[in-house]
Structure formats: structure tokens, C-alpha cells
Structure 1
Amino acid sequence: MKVEMSHKINVKVPWFARLRKDWRRQLILFALIIPAIAYTVIFNYKPIYGVIMAFQDYDLLKGLSGSKFVGLDNFKAFLEDPDFKNALRNTVAISLLNLLIGFPIPIVFALLLNEFRFQKMKKVVQSITYLPHFISWVIISGLLYNLLDQDSGSFNRILSWFGVESIGFFREPSYFWIIFILSALWKEMGWNSILYLSAMTSINPELYEAASVDGAGKIKRALHITIPGIMPTIIILFILSVSSLFSSSFDALYPMRNVMIASTSDTIDVFTYFKGVRLGEYGYATAVGLTQSLIGLLLLFTVNKTMKKLTGYSLF
């Protein structure tokens, strides 16, 4: 009796041969990502070279290679600048208020929308609350100025009917933070709720049915089913929000500021704009931006590690 045995010989293919084979097979897919790679390299990685300006007394005519190297002088200068300290205070205060008020409210709004049983009404409410996101901050600033102006604003006219003295909302620095936070909340609340609503669709409906059979009401179902179900999304967005604690929305703040409220409206981004673009202190402004980015990166890793230990969820 003859037994035939077949032996398979495993030939190790070099990595470059496998890469060439994959390249030929997926040539179209590689071609599609070339524009994205080019955009990333040109606008994200190539400008990193300009960080050298932070350590120079940068001269626009001499360029990076000809400008004088000053070491850490730019960093020392902005740390001792009282205007920077004021901008830092405003940035942190606005970011914390936005985190305390603007972060949880979209979650609550998404929970309320999730309880809608009339789908047509739900879609109408969603559409109405999403629309402000697409309105430019320049337009919103103009609307706020017309609405809250001390002399001709609609709000102050209503107050005058009740014998209340008109209020200079955009003339008194103390009002700016709350005006900005409420306007940002109105603009972004509906849009920010989209991610939470999307996460809710992945929750098994049978869990709600079982909870209803056990006598759980809407609040208990939200606390014990919905919120735990969207917790990974909440944690990820929380980490990103905390990591941007030392950043602010320049396009939102700049149209709303004026000289009278500059003490509370000028954040680090606005401060950097004036130093770099208006005054031409490019090295100084780059040093501020670099420090801001490094602090944001440090916050990202710190908060990510902390949340991973506390909740088990993290960004990476």
C-alpha cells in the first residue's frame, strides 16, 4: 500500500514584493487618497517648520534663515505681559463656563428628543435646533448688537416699558461672558446633540421593553439604560472639550468684542491675533501659539489617561 504525501513549501515573500502587489491591486484606492495626503502635508505638516519663529526675533524680510535667534525671550515676554495674563483668565473662564453649561445641556436635549413618540414633531424640533449652527457668527453678533444695544435695542425697549433703566450689555464688561455662553449654547445645542442621538440608535430596544415590564419609568430608563449606552460618546467628547480648555473660538469672539468690553472678551486667540497680525510681532505670537498647543496636548493625554482609569473609556 502506497501512501502519497504532499509537502507544502512556504516561500517567504519579501515585504517590498507584497507592497508592490498590494499597490497594483489597489492602485485606484491609493490614487483617491493622494489629494488628502497632499493637503495634510502642505497645510498641517509643512507649517510646523515655522515653529522656529517662536525662538527668533522674526523679520519678515529676512525670513526664518536670516532672523535673529533669541532663545526663550519671547516666552518670557508673554509670561510677564499683563495683557496675556488677562487673556489667559478670560480664556479659562469662558472655557470652564462652556464646559459646565454648554457640555451637559446637549446631552439633556438629546435625551428629551429621544423620548419623542411623534416622529414628525421630533424631526421639526431637530431641524429648528440644528439651523442656528449654520448661521455665521458675524451675523449672530450683528443680531445681538441690534437686540441688546443700550439706545435702540429691542430688549432695552421692552425694559423701558416696565420702567427699568436700559442696560449697556455691550458696554459693560461684566455681561460679556454670560452673553457669549448663552449665544453659543443657542447656536450649537442642536448640532452637538446629533452625536448623542446617533449613539442612542445603537442601544438595544429590548432593554427598554424589559425595563418597562419591570415598571421603570422614563427617568429610570434614561439613567440606567440610555446614559450608560452613550457613555463612551460622552467620555470622548468630554476629553476633547477639556483638552481645548486653553483655546477659544476666534471666529465667535472677535466679531462680538469691542474696546469697552476688551477686558473680558480678549482671549488668548484674540491676543495672539493682535500681536501677530496687527502689530507684526510674529515671533512673540508664535511663542504664545506654541505654548497653547503644548498645553492642549498635555491636557489631552492627562485627561485621557484619567478617564480611562475612572470609567474604562478613552480616546486612545
Structure 2
Amino acid sequence: MKSSAVLNSASSEADARTGTVFNIQRFSLHDGPGVRTVVFLKGCQMNCAWCANPESLAMEPEVLFDGSRCDSVNCWHECPGKKTAILPDLSLSAGWVADDACPAAALRQTGRLLSVEEVMETVLADELYYRTSGGGMTLSGGEMAMQPAFSQALLLRARQEGIHTAVETSGFASWSDLQLACGSSQLILFDIKLANDTLHQRYTGVSNRSILNNLKKLLQEHIPIRIRIPVIPEVNDGEEEAENIMARIEQLVRGHKSFQGIDLLPYHNFGNRKYYLSAKRCRYEEMHPDHGKPQAETLAAFARKYGLQASILSHCIG
């Protein structure tokens, strides 16, 4: 009988070889310097009300269903998607649930188990663009630290190829997993959503205490860090919370040369269609149906007040 240590070692090796990926986005310009390929890993322990990628939350593969595509197609088989709008009994092991199995393209699987080499085949295809633009590979999610061994293996493999590496993280993970997942990266893009812990729990489902403690520890790892703040109308773009956020950041980063500045990412509702396709609800749009435009300049002004450099970008991370 194998010891638990041997079994755990074998499990860790398997985790490092393969991971669940829900998208690989080429030619990204917003996820680190230069032209980048972003590898989106599936699974997240947070439940942000405004998340732009609801299909990223669960670890297991899922099926997106667009029933509007079925109106003009007579399928040759009995489709469970046409029976129920939310596909409660649809099994990914049914065999026919492949992207090309639906003549109307109404069914699409999101999430695939890929090896390090399979991911790197796509990443390496744009190696020339990385070298001419100063770009590289970025790991995102979901939360990439939920697959720490696989994340580390991808980062190490990219660096072996001379490709610049970056990670995007919410910081909500055990310190051991976060350190493993981020430690081989050359840039960390770290989310801070709210300073007020009560609000943080209301809008994300978790406390921000471990997140801020993990940021404090990562700043001591001497890896360049940029803090990213999604600017959400009626949530964190008012003067009180904007000042709270910048005051907390200034306190945390003071004296750390690894801190590289702040990116402000105004909210957009481009992910709303994904909620429809995955039969999920966007809690933010329900909580604030009449919200206005995000006031990113409010946060930028308080960043200046606390001596922090902040840039307003053109897209939002969830």
C-alpha cells in the first residue's frame, strides 16, 4: 500500500502537468506590458457581484447554452438544451456535448483540461510579438492561485523560453498556494476591490483581511506589483470609499520598491450576455439597476492626495 506522502507527491505532479483552462486570449494589450497571451484558469473562491466572467467560477467544465439559436434549426437528435433553458441534467460525459455537435452552435463547452505543453503551443505561436513589443504570457482567471502547481509549471516553462511572465490575482487564497502560484512570475497584477470589510463581504462573498495580508507578504517577495482596482459605480467610486482604499494602499506599500503603481479599470457590462448563456444572475445589475458611469477620476484624485501614481485604463476586471 502506498504511503500518503507518495500519493500526495503523485497528485502534485499531476496538478503541475495539467490544469483546467477556460480561455486563451491572444493579442491582449491590457494585461501587462506589450502584446500578451492571457491564459484564463478556471475556478474562483470569490463571488464578485460584477464579475465579467461568470463561467470562470466553478472548477469543473460547464456548458453555455444560447436557446435563441435553436429557433431556426431542426435538430436531428433530441436535445436536452431545448427541453430546459438551464440544462440542469446535461452531462459533459455524454459524448455529443462537443462544440461541433450542435448544428445551431447553441451549445458550447467552457473549460478544458490542458497540459503545460498544450498551453505553451498556443503561447509560443506569438513569440515574435512578445519580443518586439516587450510582451509575454499572463495567467488570469477565475483565480490562478486555485491551480498553484499548474500555474507555477506554466510560468517556469515560459521563462525557460525567455518569455516575460505576469499573473493577475485577487489575492484570495492560502498564502502557500499564492506564493507557489505567483513566485515564478516577473509581474503581479493584484486586485483590491474595497477597503471596507463589510462592503467587501457584501459584494464579493468573502472578507478582505487575508487578501490584504497576502498583499503585504507579496510586497516582501521583491516581485514588481501593480495594484488593480475595478471602479464600480455606487460601490467603490464614492469619495468615502475611494479615500479609504487609497489610504489603505498607501499604508501597505509605503517603503516597498516593488510597488509599481495603480491601474483603475472602469466597470462595463460586456459580461452580461455570459450570465444569460450560463443561466446565472448578475447580482450587481440587480442590486444597482440604475447605476451611472464609473467615476474613476474620484479614485485617481485620492491616489494623488496620498502620493500614489494611478492610471485609468479602458476595461474592467471582474
TM-score range normalised by the length of the shorter chain? under 0.3
Judging by fraction of residues, say which structure has more helix: 1
TM-score by length of 1: 0.20
Structure index of larger Rg: 1
Judging by fraction of residues, say which structure has more strand: 2
